[in-house]
A and B are shown apart, each in its own frame.
Chain A
Amino acid sequence: MSSAPGKPPPSGDRDVVAALRRGDEAAFAALVDEYGASLLRVARLYVPTAAVAEEVVQETWLGVLRGIDRFEGRSSLKTWIFRILMNVAKTRGERERRSIPFSVAAGGEEGAAVDPDRFLPADDERAPGGWALGPTRWPTPEESLLSGETRRVVLDAIEKLPPSQRAVITLRDVEGCSSEEVRNVLDLSETNQRVLLHRARSRVRGAIERYLDAMETTT
């Protein structure tokens, strides 16, 4: 079961590629608008400043234009574009001396999804390992979570993740890539991708919860 919400899958890579090849500017603009922000986020993981990240993205698009005639469609167009970005960003990151080891080990694998103190001990008589302090219901409608403050909380939480977790959750949940696309772009095994995604989602959930609980007690 794939649960990636958000954008629909690209409607016919072949059409887009053909449009780019014949110089359809609107098709290119649409592509830039669709992926620009995500490319920028991922680039930011590898280079020290926002300005350099913008340059990386610009260079990526030029790489896309240069390579489009050779694109064979063995991966999706999106995967291909993100792979170009990764190459440009890594090269640039090394030059800027900020290359990030990209593995689960570097992803802050320590840390449970939920603070262990919130569970009863394993030898508890009634409910071993059960919730001592269970999660409460979040306010509805959930769209209220997208209002200014909570949005900020979510973005901050993403920002504070270790780079590999941040890359996975950005591509997967924010951008709506499939698990296969994320694995191809980041060169991760299926298991590693899932572990990183789990850590990242758990931390973002925790950040939302802490924020909502604080709201409860102050209002």
Chain B
Amino acid sequence: MRVLPRIGRRRPLTCRELVELVTDYLEGAMSPREARRFEAHIAACPYCTNYLEQMRITIRTLGRIEEETLAPRAREELLAAFRGWHSEEDGAPST
């Protein structure tokens, strides 16, 4: 018969503790036991379910922000530099 280590009987997480563990959970940085403890809390707590969902929405929103792009002038200069660089390369071996 297996004896569960003491840590297996840790008390449930509080909401206040859970919000500090969301990134560990989403990053897969928890042990299976910690992850189960986290999920057990989520399953029983609608507020923390909301909270976890809000963190996921935040991450997805961050991934969809359209950023300002490089100024067209800077882009043009770069492409010109690229053409210049390459024709130089062709002419003389680089050092």
Contacts and interface: CB of A to CB of B under 8 A. Distances in A.
Answer yes or no: are A and B bound together in one complex: yes
Interface of A: 1-6, 23, 25, 28-29, 32-33, 36-38, 40-41, 54, 57-58, 61-62, 65-66, 69, 112-114, 116, 119, 122, 127-131, 134-138, 142, 145-146, 150-151, 154-155, 158, 169, 173-174, 176, 179, 190, 194, 197-198, 201-202, 204-205, 208-209
A191 to B, nearest CB: 9
Query: Which of B17, B29, B74 has the largest number of chain A CB atoms within 10 A?
Result: B74
Contact of A204 (B62, B69, B71): B62
A28 B50 contact: no
Given A134-B50, A142-B57, A205-B58, A61 B94 contact: no
Contacts of A116: 16
Q: Is the interface of B mostly helix, strand, loop or mixed?
A: helix
A28 B79 contact: yes
A-B pairs, top 6 by smallest CB distance, nearest first, are A129-B14, A134-B47, A23-B86, A6-B63, A198-B23, A5-B63
A82 to B, nearest CB: 15
A197 B23 contact: yes
A193 B66 CA distance: 24
22 contacts: A1-B26, A5-B64, A6-B64, A23-B90, A25-B79, A40-B70, A41-B67, A65-B82, A66-B85, A114-B16, A116-B16, A129-B15, A134-B50, A137-B50, A142-B61, A145-B57, A154-B61, A155-B65, A158-B62, A176-B63, A197-B27, A202-B22
A201 B87 CA distance: 46
A54 B73 CA distance: 11
Q: Is the interface of A mostly helix, strand, loop or mixed?
A: helix
B55 interface: yes
Interface string B68-82: 111100110111011
Interface residues of B, number: 51
A190 B14 CA distance: 25
A132 to B, nearest CB: 9
Contacts of A201: 22-23, 55, 58-59, 62
B36 interface: no
B60 interface: yes
A197 B64 CA distance: 17
Contact of A138 (B57, B77, B87, B94): B57
Contacts of B22: 113, 198, 201-202
Given A25-B79, A28-B79, A194-B27, A146 B65 contact: yes
B95 to A, nearest CB: 10
A174 B65 contact: yes
A179 B23 CA distance: 12
B40 interface: no
A62 B65 CA distance: 27
Contacts of B59: 3-5, 173, 201
